[in-house]
Amino acid sequence: MNWKNLEGASIADNPCWGGPEPHRHDLQYLLRVLGGSRSKLNSTEHITEDPISASSYAALMDRVISRLIIYNDDNYIAIHKPADLRMDGPHRATVHKLLLYLYPPPSMLHKTTDQDTAANEMSCQRRHEHLLESIAPLTNTSDLKDDPFRTVHQLDYATSGVLLMGKHRKAAGAACISFQERRAKKTYVAVVTANGNSNELPFGKDFVESMPTLPESSLKPWAAGSLEKQYRKKRRRDTDGKGTFNGYMPEHAIFAKWRGYMIKKKKVGGVDANKRDGKLLDASSKNGKQPNQDDVMSQLIQSTTQHLTPQAIDELLSIGPSWKKVKTHCDNSAKNDICSWPSTVQRMTKEYNQSTAAATAATTEDEQTTNQPVHKAKANDDETKQPGSSTSALPPLFRIQNEECDSFYICASIGEVGDGRFDVLVDPSAALPSTQPNTPLALPEMKPSLTRCTVLWRGYVHDATASSSAKEEGRVPVAKVVLSPWTGRRHQLRVHLSRVAGCPILGDVAYTGTDDRGAVGSRMCLHAKELVIPLIGGQAHTFTAKDPFVIDNDSIQIDNFC
């Protein structure tokens, strides 16, 4: 296999399961690690690459699947993502390539013969090599027409834990909507360490108790989602309807709607059917009914169709459903009614999205007005008298009355610079000065973010490389925490812990200011332990990945795999 021809591939990631050796970064090595005995998972012993026999291949697949797959049905697959494994892209091993190897679509098996089954050694070896060769050049789910896996959400390269994938468009869409509407709940576990060379235990009781205590009502805007709705409303207003939002439709989707309407109208009575729709639409408006977005789409289609001849409509429909092909055809056409079609669809797209954004904003305002108590004004006056209780004035670190003594919240807006930098910024007013270098003069878009943190355990882990003069008896002070993100921003947990709370995640190279992945464990100690999410049908599903950070009396064991 010639990896040099795989453009963009890199062996510089140095995954915790592969180590520094380049040959241990590929999919074949990852499979053998996942299918290896538990005693070899955290060792540097070379896993053999002998030819695969039928019995060993079947046993290998059983061990990989039992260790990797959490849930699998016709709609979804949930896996326990290994640490230091990318989602997709031109890398030797990715989540996408791992799933394709375990569950290859028919197009990947067309070269294998009917005799290539698991019944003989040559067939297993041939299947194994063929899959590796076929998967190697793939970079994303669009490379195969029958690729069944669709991304629903993301986990960072270094983060392990529950990862959900859809198996078809409808399933993935239902899960994506749950994430967009903040109905999906994630729970993480992490091991954090003290910032710098401090020997103090992170998040000590004095540190937590020193935080301001706020009433439970302070979190109501976050719990109800109204704060997130205000942020999205402002974002739509600032982008003048040009940015994406829930209900946004691009040009190709508008054209698909127009094409579907026209095909339906031709079947039920030709283009004149639009006139009947228009009369009904006018009647509903006169009766005081507010037209919905389907009515808006009908009006747009009716107004644009009037400028097209029946011959032009037939020609546009005959080109097919591809908007790209239609634009190319219109550019090469000499007919005026065809040549103007791309600009017409652009206008339709702008009008529809502006109407959708306005309707969404109006609905949000109505909901807030309806749910507002009669004595809301007085309640607001009372709340503003309490420091930090208003929506926009929560302190960066605070506790909530009547919650566990070791639980606290981190509230700080996050922004992505967008100049190629990997890390993200925290609102300077909330960040520790020493943890956020090179803050730009013009801040990027800052997104409101909230994280709940609960300390489970405080103690030490042994650092074999540290001298006793640097750290007492070579011990590193750490704490195990449970993290519940109330918002889903990129790097939210890592940035909040490091730059606001001052205790970065153990092994987090990006936010600790050091290139050392951690002598106590080669991985970043952040793990997505649980995902609760409504899927197709509205039923909530719970997916759990085994905790890799096991507390044993006065110490903690860190595993790369469970």
- Residue 372 domain flag: no
What is the DSSP secondary-structure string of 209-220? HTS-EE-GGGGH
Question: In this structure, are 303 and 342 located in the same domain?
Answer: yes
Answer for the pair 388, 218: CB distance below 8 angstroms, yes or no.
yes
CA dihedral 95, 558, 159, 183 (to 10 degrees): 110
Question: Could you tell me the two tokens for 118?
Answer: 């698991």
pTM for the whole thing? 0.70
What is the DSSP secondary-structure string of 168-212? SHHHHHHHHHHHHTT--EEEEEEEEE-STT--SPTT-HHHHHTS-
DSSP state of 92: S
- Residue 154 domain flag: no
- Residue 160 domain flag: no
Check whether 343 has a pLDDT greater than 60: yes
Question: Could you tell me the two tokens for 420?
Answer: 């190629």
CA distance 68 to 314: 52
Question: Could you tell me the two tokens for 311?
Answer: 């011959």
- Residue 179 domain flag: no
Q: Which residue has the higher pLDDT, 202 or 346?
A: 202
Torsion over CA: 305, 307, 313, 315 (sign): negative
What is the DSSP secondary-structure string of 299-346? HHHHHHHTTS-HHHHHHHHHH-S-HHHHHHHHHT---HHHHTHHHHHH
Question: In this structure, are 417 and 552 located in the same domain?
Answer: yes
Question: In this structure, are 47 and 114 located in the same domain?
Answer: yes
- Residue 387 domain flag: no
Q: Determine the structural domain holding residue 349 and report its residue range.
A: 251-366
| Last residue of one domain, picked from the residues 311, 346, 366 | 366
- Residue 537 domain flag: yes
- Residue 441 domain flag: yes
Q: Which residue has the higher pLDDT, 13 or 532?
A: 532
Mean pLDDT of the chain: 78
SS3 145: coil
% of residues, the chain, pLDDT over 90: 33
Question: In this structure, are 455 and 529 located in the same domain?
Answer: yes
Which whole-number Å values give the CA distances from 550 to 86, 407, 524, in the listed order?
25, 20, 15
The tally of domains found in the chain comes to: 3
Question: In this structure, are 320 and 456 located in the same domain?
Answer: no
First to last CA, the chain: 30
Answer for the pair 388, 212: CB distance below 8 angstroms, yes or no.
yes
Question: In this structure, are 301 and 399 located in the same domain?
Answer: no
Question: In this structure, are 189 and 260 located in the same domain?
Answer: no
- Report the 3 state secondary structure along 470-526: CCHHHEEEEEEEEEEECCCCCCHHHHHHHHHCCCCECCCHHHHCCCCCCCCCCCCCE
Residues in the chain: 562
Question: In this structure, are 136 and 192 located in the same domain?
Answer: no
The enclosing domain of 454 has a CATH number of 3.30.2350
Check whether 371 has a pLDDT greater than 70: no
- pLDDT tier for residue 291 given thresholds of 50, 70 and 90: low
CA distance 360 to 23: 53
| E-state strands within 3-134 | 69-72, 76-81
Tracing tokens 């997916």 back to the chain, one arrives at 543
Tell me the mean pLDDT in the region 247-255: 83
Q: Which residue has the higher pLDDT, 116 or 257?
A: 257
Phi-psi region of 203 (alpha: psi -120 to 50; beta: other; left: phi over 0): left
Lowest mean pLDDT among 148-162, 307-321, 397-411: 307-321
H or E element at residue 353:
helix 341-370
Which pLDDT does position 46 carry in this prediction?
A: 42
CA distance 200 to 489: 30
Question: In this structure, are 319 and 407 located in the same domain?
Answer: no
pLDDT in tens, 510-531: 888 666 665 566 789 999 999 9
pLDDT in tens, 11-66: 456 888 888 888 888 999 999 888 875 444 444 344 445 556 667 788 888 999 99
- pLDDT tier for residue 377 given thresholds of 50, 70 and 90: very low
Question: In this structure, are 399 and 544 located in the same domain?
Answer: yes
Residue 203 CB partners (closer than 8 Å, separation 6+): 192, 406, 453, 455, 458, 479, 481, 501, 503
Closest to 408 measured CA to CA, from 202, 228, 186? 202
Residue 286 CB partners (closer than 8 Å, separation 6+): none
- Residue 237 domain flag: no
Question: In this structure, are 332 and 419 located in the same domain?
Answer: no
Question: In this structure, are 199 and 338 located in the same domain?
Answer: no
SS3 89: coil
State the alpha helices, DSSP H only, in 45-114. 54-68, 95-102
pLDDT in tens, 185-237: 999 999 999 877 677 899 999 999 999 999 999 998 887 666 666 666 666 55
Residues 354-363 as b/e (b if ≥16 CB within 10 A, e otherwise) read ebbbebbbee
Answer for the pair 326, 345: CB distance below 8 angstroms, yes or no.
no
